Amino acid sequence: MHHPTLPALLTLLLTLLLTLLLTLLLTLLLTLLLTLLLTLLLTLLLTLLLTPLALADACVESGPAAELSASSLSIPGQGEGLGGVGTGTEAPRTTIVG
């Protein structure tokens, strides 16, 4: 009966360890690659979905309603220096719902 020698067993063990290490490295690399790909895909999707909302919000804030609400916050001679607290002499404000 032929028994394997010590160098043959060590070679087999080393081959198995290298195979395991390579498998683990490839799995880790594939996982990181898929995670990066999913992150980029989600970022692109969120950017495409939220950009129109941000642009629409910017258009509303720069329109006439923003100028009206900004000018109605500080009426010269009425309520200045009170940190936004009304004095009771201010005219009622109109709220524009758009």
Give me the pLDDT at residue 28, please. Answer: 98
What is the predicted pLDDT for the residue at 94?
66
- Inter-residue contact 69 to 97 (CB < 8 Å): no
DSSP one-letter string for 10-74 = HHHHHHHHHHHHHHHHHHHHHHHHHHHHHHHHHHHHHHHHHHHHHHHHHHHHTSHHHHHHHHHH-
Output 47 or 88, whichever has higher pLDDT: 47
Q: What are phi and psi of 3, to 5 degrees?
A: -100, 140
- Give the tens place of pLDDT for each residue, 23-73: 999 999 999 999 999 999 999 999 999 988 888 876 665 555 555 555 555
Band of pLDDT at residue 6, cut at 50, 70 and 90: confident
Residues making up the chain, counted from first to last:
98
Q: How confident is the model at residue 3 (pLDDT cuts 50, 70, 90)?
A: confident
The more confident residue out of 18 and 63 is: 18
Residue 21 pLDDT more than 80? yes
